Structure 1
Amino acid sequence: MKVLVTTAALFLATSVCAHEAPIHEHTELVPIPAYELPYGPASGAAALRAVEAFLARVDADTKAQFMFALDSPIRTKWSNLPAGIVDRSGISVGELDDEQRKLLFAFLASSLGQEGYESVAEVMAAETFLSTDRRAKRLQWAPENYWLSIYGTPDANAPWGWQFGGHHLGLNISIEGNRVETMSPTFVGTEPAIFTVNGMDYEAVRDMHLSGYAVYTALDEEQQAAAHAGKVPEDVLTGPGNDGRIPPMIGLSASEMTGTQRAALLTAINEWVSIQPDENAKLRMAELAEGLEEISFAWVGTDEVNTPTYMRIQGPTLIIEMLSTGGNVGSSAQGAGHYHTMYRNPTKDYGK
């Protein structure tokens, strides 16, 4: 089932419940295990070793639940909505035993850069924060409600990919030639953005927001006017359900920026690119730096956590969107932020 609603519509959707996702008491889930690399530096090769270890602990019937053909249409049916609104394929964190969960997190660490793994940690921590909200039971806000799917047969000599996501998270990693090929499309969001769970303080997605604001404030008045993104949209334009959508180019071209301003733009881009391992992130950043003059930057809003703000960074092979909604679904979030962000390389979605 493919579902996409705006933030405003999500408030109205709290009476809708697509299915009952499994909920288990795993108080040790958050914080998730610290970032460790038991299979060597994060890479396609490490991901293969890690997924093989995970699959060795899963029986055949369970594998059938989350392993699909590489070209399965299920792959594009991902969502950022809560489990109480949209049904998902795959196997959830809550359905795994302790050893399987340990191997799952080892797989995620082996498959992502440290920034990416920490993004997972922050999103799941925010879900734990929301799990005590008065809407939590209906919307099924719980850290157990994140799902893993594998596409193709993991192999050093064949393309394969994986997907991990749930509320405010959709990671889509494609691997070919035993190397990470792309992380497009990827959604990272949060509600709230600033919070404390189990004695740990979190500032989820704030670095992304502030990196974009740093670009905007580096511009002079005339450049800021050219970079104006117009009205803040109700949601990101290229999120789930919008594969193939290319928004019109808006904003200020990097060709009109100074060297210092371009450096700030590359730093902002890297906040998303670094979700994946260095083996592809460094190549991707070099590629984007080479073609930077074809990339535009657009911004409207402030640096405040709960002010409506929108950023779009776009070029022929790149779309980054960041939206601060300026409102909360969960009453417990108390104005502490609600973000949606997207990363796409429209020429390589799902490794195509």
Structure 2
Amino acid sequence: MTTMGIIQEKQLLRLPAVGMAAALVFTLTSCGTDDENSESSSSSSTSSSSATATAGSAEVVAAAEAFAATLDDDQREALNQDYTFANASNWSNFPNALLTGMGTGGGGGGTPPSGGTPPSGDTTGMPTGAAPSAGAAPGGSSSSTGRVGLQTDSLTDEQWTALETLLAAATGSGENEGYDEIVQHLAADDYLADNGGGDDYGRGNFFVAFLGTPADTGTWELQFGGHHLAVANTYTDGALAGATPSFRGIEPMSTVTVDDETVQPEQQERAAFAAVLASLDETQRSAATLSQSFGDILLGPGTDWAFPETSEGVKGSDLTDDQKSLVLAAVNTYVGDIADADAATVLAGYESELDDTYVSFAGTGNMTDIGDYVRIDGPSVWIEFSLQNGVVLEGAHPHAVWRDKTTDYAGLTG
């Protein structure tokens, strides 16, 4: 099976193909020979990838500088933050008002108690019966706003346009992926604000930060996020060195219309996972079934570098080529969120590891019901998708995270 084969498979699922001409050499330590791995493996951000500057990364830097140029002094002060693990790990899937204890809207307010447990229906990160993972911003990096960076409620129309240009340069061009997905996420939060969520929701409650100085030398991170969204692109010497943790959730999961635009960014992810699980025969399905139930994802905010030591599920080497194509299609609904050339390279690395990648699930396997959960766990890739109760609206809604065991935070650790 080839990467081109998976792109053809994706088209059957209405998933966007990524560009195949990869200008970036994005080194995942598990993709080369043992000698190459021993030389390239490192926990530092500057050595976690071997990369050369690309036209795409230069475009991101130029767009970042253009966005910063539209801001006033106070806005730039909020935007520019230090490149530290404390700041990089200060992300969450919660509405910002919940993190700061200022919530007033329909999702419930107040500060999460120790351990990060949010309101009923939005529980964080562990199998049923286990202690929840931390949901609030990790200690040591909290700001007065709950997230670091510049809140988008201060942006003028001109500044929003410049920010959108930056996000488009840094993310994928596919339909319902990358930049298009971000636009729909913002619209979905506006929908929540107008349908019971109140002021705690909406596109004005997101944050953008530059951790370090955007440049073609050195290391810096573009951080953008808010409720149900976290983008974390780290660049080293002008090339993408890491794009995870990358969080995506959506409420509602059903299709809605906002300002005459259709909002449905997570439905293809759900369909892709359902297709994987539906393809399993009885023996494979038994191997893939987890013994625990899950209320949410395991590796959410505050659970960094906490990958399980032992993988569970059906192993990729026990799948047919067609099933491997379905797995890779599901993976690409997350990898495709980054810039196209980078996505092609990362996807090829994950494809090379498919035989040692595991698929597991809990719940019905249909990926439609509360409690349905699926995981893809490889030597490098980690993706979780979990359905739980709505917070503002009735019905199931997903939380999902893409992490990379080598390049999470571009290798930066606390």
TM-score bracket, normalised by the shorter chain, equals 0.7 to 0.9
Q: Among residues 140, 147, 153, which one is paired with 1:88 in the alignment?
A: 147
Does structure 2 conserve the Cα–Cα contact (< 8 Å) formed by 1:42 and 1:277?
A: no
Alpha-carbon separation, structure 1, partners of 2:314 and 2:249:
25
Alignment-mate amino acid for residue 191 of structure 1: E
1:87-138: CA deviation from partner (whole Å, max 9, x where unpaired): 222112211111111000000001101221122122111111110233424x
Alpha-carbon separation, structure 1, partners of 2:84 and 2:371:
38
**Higher RCO (Cα < 8 Å, 6 or more apart):** 2
Which residue in 2 is equivalent to 1:5? none
Which residue in 2 is equivalent to 1:229? 290
Q: Shift in Å at residue 231 of structure 1?
A: 3.5
Which residue in 2 is equivalent to 1:323? 386
Alignment-mate amino acid for residue 90 of structure 1: G
Q: TM-score, length-normalised on structure 2?
A: 0.71
Alpha-carbon separation, structure 2, partners of 1:132 and 1:96:
20
Q: Among residues 365, 387, 397, which one is paired with 1:338 in the alignment?
A: 397
Alpha-carbon separation, structure 2, partners of 1:76 and 1:229:
29
Alignment-mate amino acid for residue 189 of structure 1: G
Count of residue correspondences: 306
Higher mean C-alpha deviation, range 63-72 or range 92-101 = 63-72
Alpha-carbon separation, structure 1, partners of 2:291 and 2:152:
40
1:263-302: CA deviation from partner (whole Å, max 9, x where unpaired): 1111111111111012221111111111111110012324
Alpha-carbon separation, structure 2, partners of 1:50 and 1:216:
40
Q: Among residues 66, 69, 73, which one is paired with 1:53 in the alignment?
A: 66
SS at structure 2 position matched to 1:131: helix
Q: Shift in Å at residue 306 of structure 1?
A: 4.3
Which residue in 2 is equivalent to 1:143? 203
Alignment-mate amino acid for residue 273 of structure 2: G
Which residue in 1 is equivalent to 2:410? 351
Q: Among residues 72, 89, 111, which one is paired with 2:170 in the alignment?
A: 111
Q: Structure 2 regions of 5+ residues with no counterpart?
A: 1-53, 100-145
1:29-79: CA deviation from partner (whole Å, max 9, x where unpaired): xxxxxxxxxxxx993221111011111112333212121122252221111
Which residue in 2 is equivalent to 1:206? 267
**Root mean square deviation, CA, Å:** 1.7
For residues 12-161 of structure 1, what are the structure 2 equivalents within 5 Å?
Answer: 43-71=56-84, 73-86=86-99, 87-114=146-173, 115-137=177-199, 140-161=200-221
1:299-349: CA deviation from partner (whole Å, max 9, x where unpaired): 232435444310100012111000111x2111xx332x3110000012212
Alignment-mate amino acid for residue 95 of structure 1: S
Q: Among residues 372, 382, 392, which one is paired with 1:309 in the alignment?
A: 372
Alpha-carbon separation, structure 2, partners of 1:344 and 1:69:
22
Higher mean C-alpha deviation, range 175-184 or range 41-50 = 41-50
Which residue in 2 is equivalent to 1:260? 322
In 2 relative to 1, CA 160–304 (structure 1 residues): closer, same or farther, beyond 3 Å?
closer
Q: Shift in Å at residue 176 of structure 1?
A: 1.7
Does structure 1 conserve the Cα–Cα contact (< 8 Å) formed by 2:353 and 2:379?
A: no
Alpha-carbon separation, structure 2, partners of 1:259 and 1:42:
35
Does structure 1 conserve the Cα–Cα contact (< 8 Å) formed by 2:367 and 2:373?
A: no
Alpha-carbon separation, structure 1, partners of 2:193 and 2:77:
29
Alpha-carbon separation, structure 1, partners of 2:260 and 2:156:
25
In 2 relative to 1, CA 57–72 (structure 1 residues): closer, same or farther, beyond 3 Å?
farther
1:182 and 2:195 aligned: no
Report sequence identity in percent.
Answer: 29
Does structure 2 conserve the Cα–Cα contact (< 8 Å) formed by 1:179 and 1:279?
A: no
Does structure 1 conserve the Cα–Cα contact (< 8 Å) formed by 2:360 and 2:375?
A: yes
Alpha-carbon separation, structure 2, partners of 1:42 and 1:101:
24
Alpha-carbon separation, structure 1, partners of 2:85 and 2:373:
33
Does structure 1 conserve the Cα–Cα contact (< 8 Å) formed by 2:230 and 2:246?
A: yes
In 2 relative to 1, CA 142–290 (structure 1 residues): closer, same or farther, beyond 3 Å?
same
Which residue in 2 is equivalent to 1:12? none
Alignment-mate amino acid for residue 238 of structure 1: L
Q: TM-score, length-normalised on structure 1?
A: 0.83
Q: Structure 1 runs of 4+ off > 3 angstroms?
A: 302-307
